[in-house]
Homo-oligomer: A and B are copies of this chain.
C-alpha cells in the first residue's frame, strides 16, 4: 500500500481505545500549552492586522478566535488561531524534526469546535492523529527539507490540519487520500519570513488550508492519489533526500507526541539554560537584587554569536540578550511574556543587574548548559551549573510548570479566576461534552457575557 493510502487508512480507522494513556495525557499537555500560547499571542499586532485585512472577507461568523472578541467563519478563525499561537515563538517543539506541530493542527480544530458540536474525546483523538500525521510527514523529509529553507511548521502543518479536520468530519479513506493530496499541493512556507509577521502566518495558513482540503475532499474534489510519495509529490519535490518508511513504521504504536517539548521562556532557546539557572538561584537563595554586584556566565559559544546584546531598550531585543535573561531570572524569578516587554527591559533594577553581567563563550559548555556565578556585595558567591536546560526532552516541564506558563499568558486577556477555570477545563478536555465550552471560556470576559445573553451573532451556533 502506498504511504498516502496507509496514512489515510490509519487516520480514518483509529479508535480511541487504540491510543495509549500516556499519549492521551501528553496530548492534553500539548493542548494546554497551545491554548495558553494562543491567548497570550492574541493581542499581538500580527493578529489584529490580519483580522483587519481579511476579516471583511469572512463568511458567516459562526466561529471564535481564542482570546479575541471578533467572530469569523471557521476557516478564517483557523488562520487567526495559527498566527496568535506562534507569534511569540512560545509554542511547542518536536525535536525530531524541529517543527511546532500543535499550532496548525489545534488552530484548525479549535476553530471547528467553536462552530460545531464536538465531543472532547473526539477532539483529542483528532488532535493526536493530526499531530502524528504532520510529524511523520516531517520525519520523512527532515533534515534536508528544513536545511534548504522550508519552515516545517507551515509545510507539514497543512497535512496535520487536513487529517484532524478530515477525521472529525468523517472522511472515507479515499476522501482522506484526496485531503492529504490537497494538503500536499498547498504545502508552503519559507524561512525567509523569519523576523517578520510572515513567520506566524505559516501555521495559520496551514491550519486554514488543511481545513479547506478536508472540506473539498468531502465534497468530492479529487487530488493525485500519491500526494506524499509520488514522483512529483511532496517528499520528492520538497526534499533533496527522504525516508518514506517513516510514514508507516510502527504507525499506531509509536507516537511523536511522546517526544514533544514545551518552551519555558519566550526567547531564543540558547538562552534557556542561563535563565533556568538564574531562576533556581532566585528561588533557592533569594538574593536581594540590590546586592548583586556581578554576574559571570560561561555559555556555549553559539550564545555569544546570537544573544550578545547588552545595551538594549526594547522588549524584542531582550529575547536576544543572554544578559537580560540572567537579569530577569535573578531579579524577578521568572521569564514570561511580561519579562520581554519594553517596560521590563527598562526596569531600573533589571537594567542594573543586566549591566553587571558578563559572559564568556566556552566550547566545553553545551547548548543545553550554563555555568553561572553571582557575586553579592560583601563578596558572597552563588554558583550554579545547569547540565540539562529546563524544557528539553530530558527535563520536561511538569504539569504544574505548564500551568504556570499558561497563567502567565492567559492573564494578558482573562481575569485570574477565569484563568483557573480554563486550566481546569483544559485538563478535562477529553471528558467535555462540547469543546466549544472551552473555547467560550478562552474569550475575553465581555464577549462571554454577551454570549450568555445570546446577543445575535455572538452565541455559538449548533451544528445543523
Chain A residues in the interface with B (C-beta under 8 A): 46, 49-50, 52-54, 56-60, 73-75, 148-151, 154, 178, 181-182, 184-198, 201-202, 205, 212, 215-216, 218-227, 230-234, 236-237
Q: Does the CB pair A188–B190 fall under 8 Å? A: no
Cα(A178)–Cα(B46), bound, Å:
14
Set B186, B193, B237: member contacting A150, Cβ < 8 A = B237
Closest to A223 in B: B198
- Contact flag A221-B194 (CB < 8 Å), given A49-B216, A149-B232, A149-B236: no
| A54/B198 contact (C-beta < 8 A), A184-B190, A188-B186 known | no
The answer to whether A224 touches B198 (Cβ under 8 A) is yes
Q: What is the bound-complex CA distance between A223 and B154, given in angstroms?
A: 15
- Chain B positions within 8 Å of A184 at CB level: 190, 192
Question: How far apart sit A195 and B227, CA to CA, in the bound complex (Å)?
Answer: 12
How far, in whole Å, are A53 and B220 apart by their CA atoms in the complex?
9
In the complex, what residues of B have CB within 8 A of residue A54's CB? Answer: 212, 215-216
Cβ distance A162 to chain B, nearest Cβ, rounded Å: 13
- Are A233 and B192 within 8 A (Cβ)? yes
Is A192 a contact of B57 with CB atoms below 8 Å?
no
- Distance from A59 Cβ to chain B, minimum over Cβ atoms (Å): 4
CA distance A232 to B194 in the complex (A): 9
Residues of B within 8 A of A52 (CB): 219
A-B contact list, 26 entries, CB within 8 Å: A49-B216, A49-B219, A49-B221, A50-B221, A53-B221, A56-B59, A59-B59, A59-B73, A149-B232, A184-B192, A185-B189, A187-B188, A188-B188, A190-B232, A191-B237, A192-B224, A192-B226, A192-B234, A194-B224, A194-B232, A196-B222, A197-B222, A197-B223, A198-B224, A201-B216, A201-B223
If the complex has contacts A192-B230, A216-B50, are A185 and B224 also in contact, measured as CB distance less than 8 A?
no
Decide if B236 touches A223 in the complex (CB within 8 Å): no
For A236, what are the chain B residues with a Cβ–Cβ distance below 8 Å?
148-149
CA distance A60 to B190 in the complex (A): 31
- Given A196-B224, A216-B53, A201-B185 contact (CB < 8 Å): yes
A49 vs B149: C-alpha distance when bound (angstroms): 35
Q: Which residues on B sit within 8 Å (CB–CB) of A75?
A: 57
In whole angstroms, what is the CA distance A225 to B193 when docked?
8
Residue pair B185, A192 in contact (C-beta under 8 Å): yes
How many angstroms from the CA of A308 to the CA of B60 in the assembled complex?
50
A193 in contact with B224 (CB, 8 Å): yes
In the bound complex, CA of A361 to CA of B118 (Å): 60
- Closest chain-B Cβ to A75's Cβ sits at a distance in Å of 5
